[in-house]
Chain A
Amino acid sequence: MKLRCEHVWSYISEYIDDAVDTELREEIEKHLEHCEICSAVLDSTRNILVLTADERTFELPVGFSERLHARLAKELVAAKIDGESPENPSP
């Protein structure tokens, strides 16, 4: 069976995640060898995933961590862990 480009596209995500079976993987790879369109689609998708996953891309708001820990420091003192058992009384 020969894969058409549309077929290859529909498996791109699973192919990237290594979630296709061996047989299909081999067919996709055979197709990629001679199809520059599918190769470019695959390479660009992968490239975009690497870029979006980089920590520089999605930044936390300035001061996010400081504000979070300041609030925790203030509220943990009064906060009670639910189901406090008598063997482990909080100090």
Chain B
Amino acid sequence: MKALVGNNGRRARRSDWLGSAKNLKDQDIDARQPQTRLDASMKSASCEREIIARILTGETDLFHELIRPCERMVYLTVLSMMKDEAEAEDVTQEAMLKAFRALRSFHAEAKFSTWLVAIALNEGRRRLRIAGRAPLESLDEQASEQEGDFTPAVLTDWREIPLEALERKEIRQALVEAVGQLPAIYRQVFTLRDIEELDVKETAEALEISANVVKVRLHRARMLLQKRLAPLLKAAVPVRKRFFWSTT
């Protein structure tokens, strides 16, 4: 059952994405330095360590390849904190440069992506402080860390909404909006755990909160999303049976 949420289908699409990123790499980097070409399997930790070692001895162009698999994760995490796309993009760029400069302090026992996400979150917090905006989390914390209503929408049956429904823009938009409307403390945990698939420990480390807090916030985030989205999706995606009835 875990596999249903964690793995099915998603891995394939993730590698599709890596594939398209590779095309991009072919254009803008390999044209200059064909010897730096790396295959997409560089994700494994030992390979990651090797690339980092090579960057540290002067092959700085390899940094492009090192971060490519993490771009999406870093951006979405920052976005879950800033909410503004342009700002989140800028913070992502800045965080990547900071990570480059700090690369020697990366220790191999950590996961590179988690380390990168932590740097990005710090950069995001720094920006919010400079702009005189309180980090979103401290505001929500007062508002919703107390007991609230985290009960689901009560339904008596559920028809599976297939992934093909995502071809419809209004369905994607409904999902994005529902996540966007979560209180920031829940949105961040949800983004790391359920969109970017970090485990509880990694999420706790990146957000500097305890594993238990991760679990509580994740539960609430999931319940808030179910409550909002289940009725909405049910109404938006027609039951297939009706289609067959109307044509027979």
Contacts and interface: CB of A to CB of B under 8 A. Distances in A.
A24 interface: no
Contacts of B157: 36, 40
A21 interface: no
Given A46-B5, A48-B229, A65-B24, A54 B163 contact: yes
Interface residues of B, number: 74
Contacts of B96: 68, 72
A68 B230 CA distance: 36
Nearest to B226: A45
Given A13-B222, A43-B158, A53 B58 contact: no
Interface in B156-200: 156-158, 160-161, 163, 165-167, 171-172, 175-176, 179, 194-195, 197, 200
Contact of B215 (A14, A18, A77, A80): A14
Contacts, number: 189
Contacts of A1: none
Interface in A56-81: 56-58, 60-61, 64-73, 75-77, 79-81
B240 to A, nearest CB: 15
A52 interface: yes
B155 A37 contact: yes
A79 B144 CA distance: 42
A83 B215 contact: no
Interface string B46-86: 00000000011110110110011001100110000000010
Given A52-B194, A53-B195, A13 B219 contact: yes
Given A40-B155, A56-B166, A64-B75, A48 B89 contact: no
Interface in B1-15: 1-2, 4-5, 8-10, 13-14
Interface of A: 6, 9-10, 12-14, 16-19, 36-37, 39-41, 43-58, 60-61, 64-73, 75-77, 79-84, 88, 90-91
Given A72-B97, A84-B104, 11 more contacts: A9-B152, A13-B215, A16-B2, A47-B161, A50-B10, A57-B172, A69-B24, A70-B28, A80-B101, A81-B101, A81-B102
The 4 tightest CB contacts between A and B, nearest first, are: A13-B219, A40-B155, A43-B158, A40-B158
Interface of B: 1-2, 4-5, 8-10, 13-14, 16-17, 21, 24, 28-29, 55-58, 60-61, 63-64, 67-68, 71-72, 75-76, 85, 89, 92-93, 96-97, 100-105, 151-158, 160-161, 163, 165-167, 171-172, 175-176, 179, 194-195, 197, 200, 215, 218-219, 222-223, 225-226, 229-230, 233
5 contacts: A51-B163, A53-B10, A55-B72, A73-B29, A91-B58
